[in-house]
């Protein structure tokens, strides 16, 4: 989906132009990830599930659904595919056998690590630029990110001030 935006603000101000540009960029990022992860036989959600599992010693399906911003039925489908490919395994939680835990297999960890490094390289190649310019863009976007968080969660905004935006993925 390509949204119209330009450096000329027309009837809209720079805020609306930036919003349209960021929305368009979101779709481009999503399409880029979909294509990239597909080269490894994964969907974007499957990769991010592997990624979250790589950072933990097992996650419940509920916790993974929260990290991926999706419901349990979608996590079940994702887990089914990843388990079928022998990338994860399911097991009952030691503290509560009603809870299903997901962990990476050795094959899953190896694939994650390979794809993660390749993804970082692809993103660097696409975004490449002057480091000072990129840091300025990051600084500006972090301020906008903070304003959106304040708008959505006015009572919790003070807690997120100390946490960089990238830690929430």
In terms of residue numbers, what domain contains 102?
14-128
3-state secondary structure of 156: coil
Q: What was the pLDDT predicted at 73? A: 87
Residue 1 lies in a domain: no
| pTM for this predicted structure | 0.79
Residues across the chain: 169
Q: What's the domain count of the chain?
A: 1
Q: Which residues pair with 53 in a beta bridge?
A: none
Dist CA 19 CA 169 (whole Å): 20
For residue range 108-138, what is the model confidence (pLDDT) as tens digits?
A: 999 999 999 999 999 999 999 899 999 999 9
DSSP conformation class of 18: H
- CATH (domain of 124): 1.10.10.10
What is the distance, to the nearest Å, from the Cα of residue 120 to the centroid of all Cα atoms in its chain?
Answer: 13
Q: What was the pLDDT predicted at 155? A: 84
Residue 41 lies in a domain: yes
Q: Which of 23, 1, 20 is nearest to 9 (CA)?
A: 20
Residue 155 lies in a domain: no
DSSP run (H or E) holding 100: strand 96-104
Residue 160 lies in a domain: no
Dist CA 53 CA 59 (whole Å): 7
First to last CA, the chain: 23
Residues 138-152, buried b or exposed e (16+ Cβ, 10 A)? eeeeeeebeeebeee
Residue 8 lies in a domain: no
Residue 25 lies in a domain: yes
Residue 40 lies in a domain: yes
3-state secondary structure of 71: coil
Residue 163 lies in a domain: no
Q: Flag residues of the chain having pLDDT under 70.
A: 1-11, 157-169
Dist CA 90 CA 64 (whole Å): 13
């Amino acid at each position: 989906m390509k949204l119209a935006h330009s450096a000329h603000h027309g009837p809209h101000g720079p805020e609306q132009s930036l919003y349209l540009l960021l929305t368009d960029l979101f779709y481009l990022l999503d399409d880029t990830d979909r294509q990239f992860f597909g080269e490894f036989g994964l969907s974007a959600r499957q990769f991010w599930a592997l990624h979250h599992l790589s950072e933990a010693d097992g996650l419940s399906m509920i916790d993974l659904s929260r990290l991926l911003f999706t419901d349990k039925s979608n996590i079940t489908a994702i887990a089914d595919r990843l388990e079928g490919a022998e990338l994860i395994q399911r097991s009952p939680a030691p503290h509560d056998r009603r809870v299903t835990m997901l962990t990476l297999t050795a094959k899953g960890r190896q694939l994650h690590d390979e794809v993660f490094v390749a993804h970082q390289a692809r993103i660097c190649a696409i975004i490449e630029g002057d480091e000072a310019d990129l840091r300025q863009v990051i600084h500006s976007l972090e301020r906008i990110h903070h304003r959106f968080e304040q708008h959505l969660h006015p009572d919790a905004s003070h807690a997120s001030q100390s946490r960089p935006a990238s830690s929430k993925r």
